[in-house]
Amino acid sequence: MYEFVTGPLAWLAFLVFFIGIIVRLVFYVRGLDWKLDRVTYSVNTSYGVRGAVRSILFWLTPFGTHSWRDNPGFTILVFVLHLGLIFTPLLLLAHNIFLQERWGFSLWSMPDALSDVMTIAVIASAVLLALRRIALPEVRIITSAYDYLMLAIAVAPFVTGLIARYAYTHSEPWLIAHVLSGELFLVAIPLTKLSHFVLFFATRAQLGMDYGIKRGGMKSSGINW
């Protein structure tokens, strides 16, 4: 079972992930309205690119936007969660040993103690964000079971991985569960709301271009809107 989930099933999960995010990006760009969304983009490219880069960088910087600064607790939880979701799997020693054995390459690996801290931080952040959705009426009203499911899918590899690491007996079932939950996470990214993994950059770039060109970014009387 372990050989199957770390072999053919893993390849399938990565295939769905990479092809899926490319398809999502293509459909996003093709879905933009030429009259409303793409006006002057090909003409005023420099202003658009500058606006896109600024938008992405400011939203990737903790407290870089008014929205981040207005909700400091939420901001910290979001950044801790997302940084952990991205960097912990990439830099985990066990993952890189697996990559070296199976595919002949590896990345720099963080110390085990740090990976434990980041794993626990991801789980704690997810729990607190879920409690926030329950506690705040303005968030609860727009939350559905689907949102909790997405959060659970994202965090499941960390929970199962932590259990597998410290399970002194019967660790293999937890290891298999860890691999399967990680593959489910990869497959869910292009197929669900978790696609913001890549669409965040597309939407921020598009909005940045919009504001950089049409809404005062050019400071030019030549643009009527």
The phi and psi torsions of 219 (rounded to 5 degrees) equal 55, 45
pLDDT, position 225: 37
Write out the E strands in 49-152: none
Count of domains observed in the chain: 1
For residue 49, pLDDT beyond 60? yes
Say if 223 falls within a structural domain: no
pLDDT, position 151: 96
Say if 225 falls within a structural domain: no
Say if 102 falls within a structural domain: yes
Distance CA 94, CA 74 (A): 31
pLDDT, position 145: 95
Residue 123 — very low, low, confident or very high, per pLDDT cuts 50/70/90? Answer: very high
**What stretch of H or E contains 94?**
helix 93-103
pLDDT, position 1: 81
Residue 216 — very low, low, confident or very high, per pLDDT cuts 50/70/90? Answer: low
Residue 124 — very low, low, confident or very high, per pLDDT cuts 50/70/90? Answer: very high
The phi and psi torsions of 40 (rounded to 5 degrees) equal 65, 5
Say if 148 falls within a structural domain: yes
pLDDT, position 165: 87
Range of the domain at 89: 2-213
pLDDT, position 193: 94
168: exposed, middle or buried (Cβ count in 10 Å: 0-12, 13-18, 19+) = exposed
- The per-residue pLDDT of the chain, averaged, comes to 87
Say if 218 falls within a structural domain: no
The larger pLDDT score, comparing residue 98 to residue 138, is at: 138
Quick: pLDDT tens for 18-47. Answer: 999 999 999 988 887 766 666 566 677 777
**pTM attached to this predicted model:** 0.86
Say if 224 falls within a structural domain: no
**CATH number of the domain that 83 lies in?**
1.20.950
> Nearest-CA neighbor of 159 among 139, 135, 184?
184
The phi and psi torsions of 216 (rounded to 5 degrees) equal 100, -5
Quick: pLDDT tens for 4-17. Answer: 887 788 889 999 99
Say if 220 falls within a structural domain: no
> Nearest-CA neighbor of 140 among 155, 129, 152?
129
Quick: pLDDT tens for 132-163. Answer: 999 999 999 999 999 999 999 999 999 999 99
Q: Which residues contact 181 (CB under 8 A, 6 or more apart)?
A: 153, 156, 157, 159, 160
Say if 52 falls within a structural domain: yes
Q: Is 223 in a helix, a strand, or coil?
A: coil
